[in-house]
Amino acid sequence: MNRRFHWQTTLPIILTTMLSVWLVGFLLAERAYTLGVSQSIFRAEDLTTRLAADFPSTALDDPLALENWFHNLNYLSNWASYHLLDAEGSTVLKSSQNVNLPAPSGNEPEIVGAMQGNVLTDLRTSTSDDFETLFIAAPIQTGNEIIAILQGAFKLEEPRLLRSNLRWLSLIAALLAGLFSLFVTEWLLARLFIPIRTITLSAQEIAQTDKSGETGVYRDDLAQLTHAFNAMSHTLHNQIEALQTERSKLATVLQQMTDGVMSVGADGQVQMINQATATLFGFNENHALGRGLAEVVRDHRLVELWETCQKSGLEQSTYLEFRFPVRVLHCIAIPMQSIQPGQVLLLFQDLTRIRQLETVRRDFISNISHELRTPLASLKALAETLQDGALDDPPAARHFISRMETEVDALSQMVSELLELSRIESGKVPLQKNSVNPCELLAAAQERMSLQAERQHLEVTLNCADDLPPILADAPRIIQVIVNLLHNAIKFTPPGGKINLTAVRKDDFCVFSVSDTGVGIPAEELPRIFERFYKADRARSGGGTGLGLAISRHMVEAHEGQIWVESEEAKGSTFYFSIPIASSIDESG
């Protein structure tokens, strides 16, 4: 049953019933209040008249008689407050009851009437508590002479309370009547519209659960409607299942894609996005849906690409480079006019790794070409010299052949180090880790390079504490690292210089250092010192391959350590590398 029709039917009935009951109750409350006020006036007149009649004629001259009469007045009038006024209207006494009112001025209507010998009442509302108060005044006479006036004040609490209670009761009765009329109306409508309501609920259930269902209505007069509804339900269910299957396939493909995909509507709002796009731009996938493209990607170039594609209706493509973090994206904007006018599909291909590999390959080719050019040029020159007649001069021929052998050894060393570096980077070099004393590694490297140090007139010292804990390392590989660093220190330290080998413990690592007093390294070249083929001073690098430090870095990192350098030009350099101590590795394992 249509909800609008439902309320159009039930609401007027309920409101009419409630209004009728409330109006009857309201009128009864007002009538009860009027009767209560009338009854209160009657009681007040009767009480005040009797009290005035019982006033002793000698009371004004006899304080004791006046006190006794007023005491009796307080006892009889426990629901009112009285003022005793003399014939001129001045207050003589006041009772101590609940009605706390200011003393009369003598100009009140009831007092003026009482001075004329009449008993009058006046109904006034108190400004202090908003209560209606009944004022009554009666003359006290001796013969025909008025000797005093008795004014009483009665708060009409009971009539007002009765009216208030009846109003509340009428409101409650109206609510109960409305509730009762609601139940009755619902019952009648249910009897009238059960078939329609059943079909409606069945349709709602199908819409909410996406499942097939049949209505439970089997009445002859609704047979065609029931049959049509059931047929529609089965057809709709089959279509929904097919759409959900296709949607699941599409969602799976989008989420598994390494390329980013984003759909942007004609209004610039993001309608669909996959996880790869969220990862590329560093935002939450659900947070981006329904937001503007500029707010999500925060790059004007992508916004311009989308605008150009939307306006031209043609596919657009561009390459974007970002610095923080460094990445290269190939962005493609495809118009989706056939699906929805103005909608654009944005594709993002992350080419950062490919660009980095291209850069590494280009640098490698450039570096190795440069390194091979010198020995190959020397070999060619020596061979041409021999061909031009040096073979006929045995001493010169032997000298040239010796030079050729040196160049071939340099090429062999370069190839060997390249193969070694390649094996290390690919993880094909197995490490035979054992518990080793750091001081023994330093001593072994010092002994191996001692002759070269003596030829260069250099002093090599070793500082290593005896209680230094052992490290877990492949001893020959770590010795090779120390030898590489010591070899560079000897090469770039002038005669008479000093080289210091040390090993100290720092937290869970043993830190080795090779310090020299050599030429040092320029500050701008320190970040690249561990790159392949890089030489800080090519003019004084001699025949080195520029691979020693790169091999050392990979070897230290394979031991889960770090390598770094501190240097100041013309003041020497200090190379550090850290290796975990054996106890820390055992505890973590």
Tens of pLDDT, residues 157-213: 777 778 888 888 888 888 888 888 888 887 777 666 666 667 777 777 766 665 555
Distance in angstroms (rounded) separating the CA atoms of residues 577 and 572: 17
Beta bridge partners of 498: 459
Averaged pLDDT for residues 476-491: 92
Distance in angstroms (rounded) separating the CA atoms of residues 376 and 415: 13
CB 332 within 8 A of CB 277: no
| Phi (first) and psi of residue 33, to 5 degrees | -65, -40
Distance in angstroms (rounded) separating the CA atoms of residues 589 and 583: 10
Comparing 377 with 488, which gets the higher pLDDT? 488
Domain that holds residue 262: 257-350
The runs of H, that is alpha helices, within 109-222 are 109-115, 157-209
- The helix/strand/coil state of 502 is strand
Residues 72 and 126 in one domain: yes
Residue where a domain stops, chosen among 229, 251, 273: 251
The pLDDT of residue 2 is 59
CB 484 within 8 A of CB 544: no
Structure token digits, residue 585: 């590795």
Distance in angstroms (rounded) separating the CA atoms of residues 200 and 178: 27
User: pLDDT band at residue 242, thresholds of 50, 70 and 90?
Assistant: confident
Residues 346 and 359 in one domain: no
Residues 495 and 543 in one domain: yes
Write down the mean pLDDT value for the chain: 80
Q: 175 in a domain, yes or no?
A: no
Q: 452 in a domain, yes or no?
A: yes
pTM for this predicted structure: 0.43
Q: 201 in a domain, yes or no?
A: no
What DSSP line would sit under 84-99, residue for residue? EEETTS-EEEE--SS-
Residues 124 and 145 in one domain: yes
Residues 218 and 106 in one domain: no
CB 396 within 8 A of CB 527: no
What DSSP line would sit under 277-305, residue for residue? HHHHHT--HHHHTTSBHHHHH--HHHHHH
Q: 335 in a domain, yes or no?
A: yes
pLDDT of 575 higher than 90: yes
pLDDT of 539 higher than 50: no
Distance in angstroms (rounded) separating the CA atoms of residues 358 and 502: 40
The pLDDT of residue 442 is 95
pLDDT of 417 higher than 80: no
User: pLDDT band at residue 463, thresholds of 50, 70 and 90?
Assistant: very high
| Tokens 């006899």 -> residue | 62
CATH, residue 291: 3.30.450.20
State which of 5-14, 15-24, 78-87, 137-146 shows the largest mean pLDDT.
Answer: 15-24
CATH, residue 468: 3.30.565.10
Q: 121 in a domain, yes or no?
A: yes
* Cβ contacts of 100-106, under 8 Å, gap ≥ 24: 101/126, 101/133, 101/153, 104/151
**HSE value, Cβ hemisphere, 13 Å, CA-based, for 534:** 14
Distance in angstroms (rounded) separating the CA atoms of residues 413 and 545: 8
Residues 268 and 331 in one domain: yes
CB 148 within 8 A of CB 87: yes
The pLDDT of residue 518 is 92
Q: Determine how many CB atoms are found less than 10 A away from the CB of residue 359.
A: 10
Residues 62 and 134 in one domain: yes
Residue where a domain stops, chosen among 350, 373, 401: 350
pLDDT of 432 higher than 80: yes
Residues 481 and 540 in one domain: yes
Beta bridge partners of 208: none
Residues 491 and 517 in one domain: yes
The pLDDT of residue 98 is 52
Residue where a domain stops, chosen among 162, 197, 224: 162
Structural domain total, the chain? 5
Averaged pLDDT for residues 452-468: 93
Q: 304 in a domain, yes or no?
A: yes
User: pLDDT band at residue 282, thresholds of 50, 70 and 90?
Assistant: confident
Q: 231 in a domain, yes or no?
A: yes
Distance in angstroms (rounded) separating the CA atoms of residues 562 and 481: 12
Distance in angstroms (rounded) separating the CA atoms of residues 502 and 454: 19
Residues 483 and 514 in one domain: yes
Residues 366 and 488 in one domain: no
The pLDDT of residue 496 is 93
The runs of H, that is alpha helices, within 91-156 are 109-115
Distance in angstroms (rounded) separating the CA atoms of residues 38 and 34: 6
Residues 37-74: tens digit of each pLDDT: 888 788 777 777 777 777 776 667 677 777 777 766 66
Residues 363 and 503 in one domain: no
Structure token digits, residue 12: 């007027």
Q: 191 in a domain, yes or no?
A: no
The sign of the torsion formed by the CA atoms of 527, 528, 531, 537 equals negative
Beta bridge partners of 462: 501
The sign of the torsion formed by the CA atoms of 311, 317, 318, 320 equals positive
User: pLDDT band at residue 535, thresholds of 50, 70 and 90?
Assistant: low
